[in-house]
Structure 1
Amino acid sequence: MLSTKESFQAKLMNTPMLTILGLGPGSIYDLTVQAHTLLTQAAEQQQIVYFRTTLHPAAAALKQELPELQIRSFDHLYDESDAWDTLYERIASEVCQLAAQQPIIYAVPGHPLIGESSVQLLVQQARERGITTRIVAGLSLLEPVCELLSLDPYDRGLQILEATRLAALESNEIAGALIPTAPLLIPQIYNRRLASDIKLVLGELYPDEWPVRLVRLAGLSANEEPVLEIPLYELDRTNVTNHLCTLYVPPVDELTSLRLPETLRYITMRLRRDPDGCPWDREQTHQSLTRYVIEETYEVVEALEENDMEKLAEELGDLLLQVYLHAEIARQEGDFSLGDVYEQINAKMIRRHPHVFGTAEAETAGQVALNWEEIKKEEKRQAGIQPEETGLLDGVPQGMPATMIAQKYQKRAMRAGFRYDQVDEIITKLGTELEEFRQANTAEERLDELGDILFVVVLLASWFKLDAEEALRHANRKFKQRFQSMERLAREEGRDFSSYTSAEWLERWQRAKTDETHKSDLV
């Protein structure tokens, strides 16, 4: 019968095709007994051990202790790779190819399953190729880093995100991947190029001056401290990064990270909080804020029409604040929360885009519109509303501008077949309404006939598939520009604006139109 030691050694001899071994955080003394035994055995058998990187203190120490140990590394790939997200895929692919030919050992810093992207990819590829894998645990980088920082990883929800994964994030993914109000560890910042990419990503959420700590577990001289505190913007200006460098980013408070939706939620909650909030905000209701929703919406429209992107960003923020305020009021009154708002719109977008998030097909915008209407009908049925029992003109929001309501009514009626056959018939109808307005005798009659005139004018826009509201806004802008040009002319002439005769007004109006045309030709 084998002794315990002999049984253990016999088990080691039965090496799987691929052994993934953890080297620990740095010192050779941090190697587990199992890892050290396997490496010793590999040296005796002159078996090549593949290191993800030899820029690890244990690699040099093992070479000194075990001169026969044959080491190959993938360090050259770090300089050759242009993209962080493909670097570890290449390493995993090469290791898998080697393991498919003969049993090999692949050694990585720390613990193989903690912060090792190459191992995650490698295990997946090995499984797909039918290669047996074995994990030999190691002490992770987390323990010594937390010791140096006096950091409890269970406190405040410590985040850990490997450096190359963080650097590979698209700009629209950053806010969803990080929580700046929780502490963050970023291990394996192995060169300045990666440090630069990390700095740019963090700069989306953290202030440039935010103090961060670079924890170095290797490559230090006797008089250097293992923890270097620097402002975030200097991260790629240090020359101390290596594979055992970990960045610690302390949490920010709720009012520091100004680029996060969570900050606006917190601000809105504080404004409404009693007794230390804002007296004005605490008094607001859904009804009292209605006018501000409308005002902010029109200011967004104005920024769009002016093509002013800086102004648009500001006005969208003002409109977003109204959403958050209404959600906070509803939360306080027990009606719904901001999470319900997100859930409603997310579910609706997924449900109404089955050609994107499901199996339906829609190759044109027209097909999308047809699908959209059918889905809306089904939503009504599920809500207990039978579409056949509702009118074609139902469901048009009455808070919209009258021209928009009229155009929606007309488009729905036209789709149902209630329409003129020729545009000349609409123009004739407009003439009829103008004559009826001319013959009206009372204010009530004039109001009624004027409404008919406007409705027919909007119908003319609908016929030509024009936006009546946009056309009127365009006319308003032209009038404002021309009137302001006349005001400038009056100042240049030293005339009182109200002293012009009708003929002078007309002459200057024509000059303003001419100047406007000339400027348009120059653009």
Structure 2
Amino acid sequence: MNKIVVIGLGPGAEDALTLGAAKNLREKRKTYLRTEKHPTVSYLKREEIEYETYDKVYDSKEEFEDVYSSIVEDLIEQSDKYGTINYCVPGHPLIAEKTVELLLGAEKEERVELEIVEGLSFIEPVILSMQSDPVEGLKIIDGLDLKNQKVDISVDNLVTQVYNQTKASELKLELSEIYGDEYEVYIIKAAGVPGEEKKIKVPVYELDRLGWIDYLTSIYIPKVQTEDKRVYDFNDLLKIMETLRGEDGCPWDIKQTNESLKKYVIEEAYELVEAIEEDDIDGIVEELGDVLLQVVFHSQIGREEGYFNIWDVIRGISEKMVNRHPHVFGDGVAETDSEVKRVWDDIKASEKEQESHQERLRSVPKVLPALIRSEKVQKRASKCGFDWDDRGGAVEKLREEVEELIQEIDSNGENIDGELGDILFSVVNLSRFLDVDPERALYKSVDKFIDRFSKVEDEVLKSGRKMEDMGLDELDEIWEEVKSGE
């Protein structure tokens, strides 16, 4: 089988070139460089080592994936032609080198044989420049894959391949969301290359304001120090909760149980809804935090009792979202909102082993507010065809229920609450046909009543009287005036 000798050229300094790399470069083989834009290439020129580069491929392709796959295919073709060839890459062949990753895949497919010749990576000179010990925590991130690789604020982060201002801008936006604009990071260029190395400390917002950023540039992000904590992540929240529940923690937090916290889950959810209703952005942020705290709090209790932990919760919801969206994560098809809902409901019923329609109805939680529960039950019943053809049927049913309530009241019957409940149920049904959220509609009516009542009281107080001293007819007259003024 033909062979490709992959040679690491090191971070850039000629002294960092390994003996193995130098030995293989002197072999009389065809030699190819992924890029000629690397300081060590001056050594090849001085030693009169002939080579060809793939720099031209970068200009001919729009996507990096296409560039890398094109290089790999050509390398395999050249090895078929010449037997054994050299392929040189910057740094270490197995660190941040996509073409080598693709070549290793080709080797598994038995398309080519590889020999890896080590080279010093860019990581070592960066560590030397920063005088940091990676044992204390260092995460390496590919600057070309920021969507899939995330920084970790609890350790130092080294972002590679920030080769121009556009990439620096993308990184700036990513980091500003996590660390804030003022957090200071290091820009390091040509680490370990004598006479060319640069290192400066800048706030995140200045990341893309330097004209000398190039293909030898990396960004070093120091970890957030615990003694000066201004940025937190999810692990910090878990640690805080664990401390509060610990031996020297808060007495109130320690005595809580999943049962005792139930009311707080509901309260926090409603406070979040209120913040959303009022379009209070700061409030939304705060209340989302309170809701998240409830998730972490319950999970910490579950962990202590040995039943579950936060990772079980995260795994469960992640698996659920993937499983219930086969049109996104699989080969399913759902092109409209209604199709998505149908797929969701069918998968949900299958997961819960609900074979009959009545099981689906009974599974609607009883603790939900009655209007919301009514709407959910009606929607599930409608899915098997148990529904009016149009809103006309719902209107007639409402009239019928109103008449039955009046008859029950006139006869002093014992089922007034049942008939009143039927009316409310019918109102929810009509709301569904009118595409109106009954909970929201009643919410608005309550607010409207409070506003009008307040205006009535203001008018009464202006007259020097009190509402308690006035008759209903007088108050109703003022009410109608307020209403007409609106």
* TM-score, normalized by the shorter chain, greater than 0.5: yes
Asked if the contact 2:181/2:203 (under 8 Å) is kept, the reply is yes
What is the CA distance between 1:201 and its match in structure 2?
2.1
Asked if the contact 1:268/1:325 (under 8 Å) is kept, the reply is yes
What is the CA distance between 1:48 and its match in structure 2?
5.9
Q: Separation in 2 of the partners of 1:21 and 1:397?
A: 64
Equivalence for 1:507: 481
1:63 paired to 2:73: no
Q: Separation in 2 of the partners of 1:347 and 1:486?
A: 55
Q: Separation in 2 of the partners of 1:230 and 1:63?
A: 36
Q: Separation in 2 of the partners of 1:463 and 1:252?
A: 54
In the TM superposition, what are the counterparts of 1:422-441 in structure 2 within 5 Å?
422-436=393-407, 438-439=409-410, 441=412
Aligned partner letter, 1:191: N
Q: 1:208 aligns with which of 162, 181, 185?
A: 181
1:26 paired to 2:3: no
TM-score (ref. length: structure 1)? 0.75
Gaps of 5+ in 1: 1-13, 513-523
Q: 2:372 aligns with which of 404, 410, 415?
A: 404
Equivalence for 2:144: 164
Q: Separation in 2 of the partners of 1:448 and 1:296?
A: 32
1:336 paired to 2:313: no
Q: 1:149 aligns with which of 124, 127, 130?
A: 130
What is the CA distance between 1:426 and its match in structure 2?
0.8
Q: 2:420 aligns with which of 450, 475, 482?
A: 450
Asked if the contact 1:23/1:110 (under 8 Å) is kept, the reply is yes
Q: Separation in 2 of the partners of 1:120 and 1:149?
A: 28
Q: Separation in 2 of the partners of 1:261 and 1:484?
A: 45
Cα-to-partner distance string for 1:320-363 (whole Å, 9 max, x where unaligned) = 22222221222223232111211222233333344444455555
Equivalence for 1:521: none
1:323 paired to 2:323: no
Q: Separation in 1 of the partners of 2:17 and 2:52?
A: 19
Gaps of 5+ in 2: none
Asked if the contact 1:426/1:459 (under 8 Å) is kept, the reply is no
1:180 paired to 2:165: no
Cα-to-partner distance string for 1:291-334 (whole Å, 9 max, x where unaligned) = 22222222333344445555434433322222222212222232
Equivalence for 1:379: 351
Equivalence for 2:218: 246
Equivalence for 2:35: 52
Cα distance change on mapping 1:334 and 1:121 into 2, 3 Å: same
Q: Separation in 1 of the partners of 2:330 and 2:271?
A: 36
1:199 paired to 2:180: no
Asked if the contact 1:53/1:108 (under 8 Å) is kept, the reply is no
Give the secondary structure class of the aligned counterpart of 1:456: helix
Q: How many residues align?
A: 473
What is the CA distance between 1:205 and its match in structure 2?
2.2
Give the secondary structure class of the aligned counterpart of 1:247: strand
Cα distance change on mapping 1:508 and 1:474 into 2, 3 Å: closer
Q: Separation in 1 of the partners of 2:267 and 2:364?
A: 20
What is the CA distance between 1:482 and its match in structure 2?
4.5
Asked if the contact 1:48/1:105 (under 8 Å) is kept, the reply is yes
Q: Separation in 2 of the partners of 1:376 and 1:449?
A: 33
Aligned partner letter, 2:444: H
Aligned partner letter, 2:362: D
Q: Separation in 1 of the partners of 2:244 and 2:61?
A: 47
Q: Separation in 2 of the partners of 1:412 and 1:115?
A: 52
Q: Separation in 2 of the partners of 1:496 and 1:324?
A: 53
1:348 paired to 2:320: yes
What is the CA distance between 1:475 and its match in structure 2?
2.3
Q: Separation in 1 of the partners of 2:143 and 2:431?
A: 56
Q: 1:36 aligns with which of 13, 22, 27?
A: 22
Q: Separation in 2 of the partners of 1:380 and 1:48?
A: 61
TM-score (ref. length: structure 2)? 0.80
Asked if the contact 1:89/1:118 (under 8 Å) is kept, the reply is no
Cα distance change on mapping 1:81 and 1:468 into 2, 3 Å: farther
Q: Separation in 2 of the partners of 1:434 and 1:484?
A: 32
Q: CA RMSD in A?
A: 4.0
Q: 2:261 aligns with which of 269, 289, 297?
A: 289
Q: Separation in 1 of the partners of 2:65 and 2:383?
A: 56
What is the CA distance between 1:82 and its match in structure 2?
10
Q: What's the % identity of the aligned pairs? A: 37
